[in-house]
Structure formats: structure tokens, C-alpha cells
Amino acid sequence: MSIGQIIFTLVVVVAFSIAAKNYKKVYRNINLGKDEDISGDEGQRWKNLFLIAFGQKKMFKRWIPAVLHLSIYVAFLFTQIELIEIFIDGFFGVHRFFAPYLGGLYTLIIGSIEVLSFLALIATFIFLVRRNLLKIPRLVKPEMGGWPTIDANLILFGEIALVTGIFMMNGADVVLQQLDPAHYPSSGFLPISSINGPLLFGDLGLNTLQLIERTGWWLHLFTVLLFINYLPVSKHLHIFLAFPNIWYSKINSRGEMENMPDIMNEVKSMMGLIPEQEMDPNADFPEFGAKDIFDLSWKNIMDAYSCTECGRCTDVCPANITGKKLSPRKVMMDIRDRATEIGNNLDTGARKFISEEGRAANEPLTVDNYYDGKSLFDYITREEIHACTTCNACVEACPVTINPLEPILKMRRYEVLTESAGPSDWLPMFTSIENGGAVWQVPDDRDQWAKEMNEEGN
């Protein structure tokens, strides 16, 4: 094994080892939520996966960003073919392993990758302009200040580095194929490198060309490995999570709210639908809704980690449009940040994050005894969740089928049903429903009209 192969193997093994550790943390953080049974028509789920995840269907409600994103997305998929060859070449110490075996098909594949990469490069520059110069409104909302904007730009600059590596590698390689065909197998005519390669590198010597080719090769590889390790702390984790998130998204009507069995059984008991003897009078009073990450479902947290921060949800939110504080995108970003904070605290094993009962029992820090004195309400204000009109516009707009409405409703339920709190202008409504079964205060029972009709009928 040559020195180059040894270095390549060490770099790849170290990079993937670190990445595996970080992805495992994300998986752990998602599973901080409650279990949720998600079932339903698998045929519809496959349809959603192909149309929405692979086909980018919901992106095309806005054509300009959709076409630009599609260029980068398709280039990303196709360049994986060339990446596979890079790994084979690196591990086995060969050069363009597939070229002798695929012939014209190899030329077609690499040529297609070059065209797609060029289109992706154009799209990347346009995205940089839209975000930093044109300042598209949904991309410069308050929650996008600081790290979210830096994160978005870092990925775009990384895309430029990827494409630069491809064209450096292919351009120098085209010239080397003419100078040293024994070691550099022909890749055929490439639509960009066969022109730019001789134009830029044609007058250079063999050693310089080899240096440029290897620089491009390693630049592409290092950028890919950096991407893999960077994604767990980036909004671009949706590159991987969008697919399972769309598969597990609910396929029932968007207007259907999650049932609360404890409330349902209590109402049934009051209506005489459940015999009193079947109700346990000594049962603990349940906590309704969600106060923290542990009260959400794992799917709610996966939604947060799948968020692309594109802002389409906030852009169509009627509450946000009218100047209210609510931003569905911020809600998902806050859930992700809170889950990450808890995960990082758990990794420390510090006793200060153990509940009083756990410390008294001398327990090690676990998910079950975690307590840091904070909750989701420290991230998401009550003003935000009160502003939601439950119109589902954010759910409809999301290109990866995230549902910001669910955690908002769960936090509302906690506030109203567990804390017995809520906005002052909601309380008369709750009182009217409790006393008269109607939203508005009326002097008669809600079913008085039915009683009168029965009396007239008799």
C-alpha cells in the first residue's frame, strides 16, 4: 500500500468516525421525544416520497428558487457517482477506475456531471446574491440573524469549492491524458473540461499538471468529508432527514387535531357514555400538552431537525404578515435548539442537570432525571403561540412536510389545561363553554331549542 493510499484511508476513516458520533447524537436528540405510532397507507407514503422528496414537488410553487434548487439538487445526486470513483481510486491506488470499463457511457456520465455542476455553480452565485445583496424578505427575518445566515452562506461557499475541485481535477486530467496516456485513461470529450482544460492548463509541465489534478481531487474529497461532518450542526441536515421526515409525515386531513384520550374519557363520563365505576377516582391528574422537548413526539423533533429554514412557512403565516410575533420557522428552530441544548447537557454528565430526586438517590445523569430549570417556554414566548390562527398555511407551504402547528397546539394545551392559564380575553370563552356548552354567554342551555321542538312535537 502506497503512502497516498494510507493517508487517504486514515483521512476517510477519521472523518466518518467523527461523523458517525455526531449523527448518533442527532438520533438520540430526536428520540428525546415521546413515542408516536405513525401508520397509514404505505402507497400514499411512497407517492409522497417520490413526488415531494425526490421530485421536489412543493418547491415548484415558487418557480425561481425551485429551478435554482433543482440544479444544485440534481448535481448533488449525480456527483455521487464521481465520488464513488474517488473512493475506489483512493483505496486501491488507481486512477479513473470506471473509465476503461464503461467507455462512452463513462464520458456521458462525467460530461453530464460537468454540465450539472456548472448549472449548480450559477445557481449558487444567484442564491448568494438573493440572500446577501437582494435580501429577500423571508431570508432576513429576525430569527435569521447571526448563525443561520452564516450557516447558509458556508454551505454555498462549500458548493463553490466542490465544483472548483471537479473542474480543476477534470481540466488538468484532460491535458494529462494527452501527455501520459499510460497513466491517465481517456475520459472522452467532456463539454467543459475538454475546452477549459487545454485553455487554462495547456502550457503547463507534467509535474504542475499533476499537482493541479491532485489538488482538485483532494479539494473535492475534503469538501465532501467536511460536509458530512458539518451537516449535523447545520440546517442542511435536511439533505438526509427530508426523506424519512416526508415518509413519516401524517397523511390524514390537515384539519384533524390530535385526540387527547384523558379529556375524551372525562367528557364521555360526564355524558354517561362510560360507567362511573370504570373511572379510577385515585388516578393521578395527567399533564396535558407539552412543556418541554420530552413532551413532544419524536416526529415533532425530527420536523425541527429537518427544517430547511427557507421561511416559506413564515412567509405565508397570516399572523406574521399582520405584524404579530409568531414565526413558524422560528418555532421549529427553537425546538431544534432546545433539543440540541439538552443533548449537549446530557453528554456532559454534570450533576447540576440532575433533578433533586435523582441527586438524593445518587443517580447518574439520564434522560429520565434530567432537569435544568428551563423549558420550551424559555425559547418560544406565549405571545407567539397565542398568535397562531391554526389555519395550516405553514403546513401547506413547507417543502419537506414539516408541521409547525402541532407543537404550537401542544404548548397551548399545556398552558390552558395544565397551568390553567392563557390570555385574559380567552377566559370568558372557556367559562361559557364550561357552563353553557357554547362559546358565547347565552341565558338558555345550548340544547334548549331542541327541548322546545320536542315539546311542540308532543
Residue 363 lies in a domain: yes
Q: Are 315 and 397 in contact (CB under 8 A)?
A: yes
Q: Is the same domain home to 225 and 306?
A: no
Q: Are 220 and 151 in contact (CB under 8 A)?
A: no
Q: Is the same domain home to 357 and 452?
A: no
Q: Is the same domain home to 298 and 334?
A: yes
Q: Is the same domain home to 443 and 412?
A: no
Residues composing the chain: 458
CATH code at 385?
Answer: 1.10.1060
For 201, phi then psi, to 5°, come to -120, 5
Residue 444 lies in a domain: yes
| Burial tier of 46 (Cβ tally within 10 Å: 0-12, 13-18, 19+) | exposed
Residue 152 lies in a domain: yes
Q: Pick from 163, 161, 181: which is nearest to 171 by CA?
A: 163
Residue 277 lies in a domain: no
Q: Is the same domain home to 326 and 451?
A: no
Residue 137 lies in a domain: yes
Q: Is the same domain home to 98 and 9?
A: yes
Q: Is the same domain home to 113 and 197?
A: yes
Rounded to 5°, angle at Cα 237 from 26 and 220: 120
Residue with cell 430547511: 308
* Residues 450, 446: Cα–Cα separation, whole Å: 9
Q: Is the same domain home to 190 and 302?
A: no
Alpha helix (H) residue ranges in 93-205: 99-102, 104-132, 147-179, 193-201
Give the cell for residue 228: 458530512
Q: Is the same domain home to 219 and 290?
A: no
* Residues 31, 293: Cα–Cα separation, whole Å: 10
Q: Is the same domain home to 175 and 70?
A: yes
pTM of the model: 0.88
* Residues 434, 427: Cα–Cα separation, whole Å: 11
Residue 44 lies in a domain: no
Structural domain boundaries enclosing 304? 261-270+285-422
Count of domains for the chain: 3
Residue 374, Ramachandran bin (φ over 0: left; ψ between -120 and 50: alpha; else beta): beta
Residue 222 lies in a domain: yes
Q: Is the same domain home to 94 and 228?
A: yes
Alpha helix (H) residue ranges in 365-437: 382-387, 393-397, 405-413, 427-436
Per-residue pLDDT of the chain (458 residues; tens, 9 = 90+): 788 899 999 999 999 999 999 999 999 999 999 998 888 888 999 999 999 998 989 998 888 889 989 899 899 888 988 899 999 999 999 999 999 999 899 999 999 999 999 999 999 999 999 999 999 999 999 999 999 999 999 999 999 999 999 999 999 999 999 999 888 999 999 999 999 999 999 899 999 999 999 999 999 999 999 999 999 999 999 999 999 999 999 888 877 777 777 777 777 776 666 666 565 666 666 778 999 999 999 999 999 999 999 999 999 999 999 999 999 999 999 999 999 999 999 999 999 999 999 999 999 999 999 999 999 999 999 999 999 999 999 999 999 999 999 999 999 999 988 888 888 888 788 777 777 767 777 766 667 777 778 877 66
Q: Are 169 and 213 in contact (CB under 8 A)?
A: yes
Give the cell for residue 290: 407539552
Residue 249 lies in a domain: no
Q: Are 335 and 296 in contact (CB under 8 A)?
A: yes
Q: Is the same domain home to 230 and 85?
A: yes
